[in-house]
């Protein structure tokens, strides 16, 4: 029997409806409108699309959105000064600087300059450290979205054998850590990477397989355990269209559940950013 599809496009709509109610209540009962500032430096077309999608989500949910577009030759000092102003702006509860930045700007300096209490991307080392310790913090959006997909598809996490393929700071490392947490996933987690000698020997053990390597169809059906839950984070553009890091058609005949590409993990990233922005607004007003 083909796998059940875990559709982020549908689950993200559920979360949006929950957020709409919460945001409306904040406005009515507390005169509070969550605010998100997005900063785009340069003319990267993919970045423009991402920022536009975030603006659209803010408008749909009733979140105040402030988009700041800067030329590609903006000096690092000017960008840091802008972030300093946004850190102090009471209308802004979340700050997102769209990556990648132009090469003359040090991304680390920029990300570290964001007030951790407004770091709704969850990339500041203060939030990363709190995540590692299992303390309340802004969780990075894509890994957080993956956990929501698993929970809302009734996937048992506690005690599960999870294999993560990929160790990026954006997906692999944080999702592994979150699934390890006793109050997060309480799972047993293995992380595979370019130094792993026999990746298939690990992936074939996985009850839950999370793939984030950026290579089209890198995980094939012979690498997947019968009845596994497969989360495909990759988005790769081929002449035939968008494909994931998992060879979808043969794997879906073997897995119990699988995320499609597109319409799987992708929609969750933006909705979790919105959720973090609402959380930040409540925190700044002492409501959480």
Helix axes 141-152, 172-180, angle to 10 degrees: 50
**Among 54, 173, 217, 225, the one annotated catalytic:** 54
Residue 93 φ/ψ region, left for φ over 0, alpha for ψ in the -120 to 50 degree band, beta for the rest: alpha
Whether residue 182 sits in one domain with residue 149: yes
When pLDDT is cut at 50, 70 and 90, the band that residue 2 belongs to is: confident
Q: What is the mean pLDDT of residues 185-206?
A: 97
Please state, in angstroms and rounded to a whole number, the distance separating the CA atoms of residues 162 and 203: 9
Give the pLDDT of residue 1: 73
Whether residue 110 sits in one domain with residue 47: yes
pLDDT of 248 above 90: yes
Inter-CA distances, 138 with 43, 94, 212, 279, Å: 28, 10, 21, 8
Whether residue 106 sits in one domain with residue 166: no
The residue range of the domain holding 82 is 30-117
Please state, in angstroms and rounded to a whole number, the distance separating the CA atoms of residues 143 and 175: 5
When pLDDT is cut at 50, 70 and 90, the band that residue 184 belongs to is: confident
Residue 201 within a domain: yes
Report the CATH number at residue 206. 3.40.50.720
What is the tens place of the pLDDT at every residue in 209-229?
A: 999 999 999 999 999 999 999
pLDDT of 135 above 90: yes
Helix axes 266-284, 8-30, angle to 10 degrees: 20
Contact between residue 244 and residue 261 where contact means Cβ atoms under 8 Å apart:
yes
Count structural domains, the chain. Answer: 2
What is the tens place of the pLDDT at every residue in 103-127?
A: 999 999 999 999 999 999 999 999 9
**Among 118, 119, 121, 207, the one annotated catalytic:** 121
Mean pLDDT over all residues of the chain?
96
Is 119 a catalytic site residue? no
Report the CATH number at residue 102. 3.40.50.10860
Contact between residue 94 and residue 117 where contact means Cβ atoms under 8 Å apart:
no
Q: What is the mean pLDDT of residues 129-147?
A: 96
Please state, in angstroms and rounded to a whole number, the distance separating the CA atoms of residues 263 and 242: 11
Whether residue 170 sits in one domain with residue 82: no
Give the pLDDT of residue 90: 97
Contact between residue 189 and residue 195 where contact means Cβ atoms under 8 Å apart:
no
Is 222 a catalytic site residue? no
Positive or negative torsion for Cα 265, 98, 245, 157: negative
**Among 98, 118, 254, 275, the one annotated catalytic:** 98
Whether residue 207 sits in one domain with residue 159: yes
Residue 20 within a domain: no
When pLDDT is cut at 50, 70 and 90, the band that residue 288 belongs to is: confident
The candidate with the shortest Cα–Cα distance to 146, out of 43, 78, 234, 84, is 234
Contact between residue 259 and residue 212 where contact means Cβ atoms under 8 Å apart:
no
Give the pLDDT of residue 78: 98
Q: What is the mean pLDDT of residues 128-138?
A: 96
Is 56 a catalytic site residue? no
pLDDT of 206 above 90: yes
Q: What is the mean pLDDT of residues 9-23?
A: 98
Collect all residues with Cβ–Cβ distance below 8 Å to 262 and sequence separation of at least 6: 235, 242
What is the tens place of the pLDDT at every residue in 46-100?
A: 899 999 999 999 999 999 999 999 999 999 999 999 999 999 999 999 999 999 9
Please state, in angstroms and rounded to a whole number, the distance separating the CA atoms of residues 139 and 275: 10
Residue 113 within a domain: yes
Whether residue 162 sits in one domain with residue 95: no
Give the pLDDT of residue 46: 85
Give the pLDDT of residue 159: 97
Q: What is the mean pLDDT of residues 231-238?
A: 94
Helix axes 45-61, 266-284, angle to 10 degrees: 60
């Amino acid at each position: 029997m083909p796998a059940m599809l875990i559709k982020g496009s549908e689950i993200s709509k559920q979360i949006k409806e929950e957020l709409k109610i919460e945001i409306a209540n904040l406005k009515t009962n507390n005169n509070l409108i969550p605010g998100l500032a997005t900063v785009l430096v340069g003319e990267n077309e993919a970045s423009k699309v991402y920022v536009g999608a975030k603006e659209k989500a803010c408008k749909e949910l009733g979140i105040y959105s402030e988009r700041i577009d800067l030329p590609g030759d903006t000096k690092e000092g000017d960008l840091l000064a802008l972030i300093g102003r946004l850190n102090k702006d009471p209308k802004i509860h979340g700050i997102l600087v769209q990556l990648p930045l132009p090469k003359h700007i040090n991304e680390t300096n920029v990300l570290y300059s964001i007030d951790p209490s407004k770091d709704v991307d969850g990339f500041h080392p203060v939030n990363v450290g709190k995540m590692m310790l299992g303390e309340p913090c802004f969780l990075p959006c894509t890994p957080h979205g993956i956990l929501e997909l698993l929970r809302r598809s009734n996937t048992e996490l506690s005690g599960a054998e999870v294999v993560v393929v990929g160790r990026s700071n954006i997906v692999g490392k944080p999702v592994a850590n979150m699934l390890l947490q006793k109050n997060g996933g309480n799972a047993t987690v293995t992380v595979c990477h370019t130094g792993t000698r026999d990746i298939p020997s690990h992936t074939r053990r996985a009850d839950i397989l999370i793939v984030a390597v950026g290579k089209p169809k890198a995980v094939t059906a012979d690498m997947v355990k019968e009845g596994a839950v497969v989360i495909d984070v990759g988005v790769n553009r081929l002449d035939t269209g968008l494909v994931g890091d998992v060879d979808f058609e043969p794997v879906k005949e073997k897995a119990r559940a699988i995320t499609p590409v597109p319409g799987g993990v992708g929609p969750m990233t933006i909705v979790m950013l919105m959720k973090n922005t609402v959380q930040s607004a409540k925190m700044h007003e002492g409501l959480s």
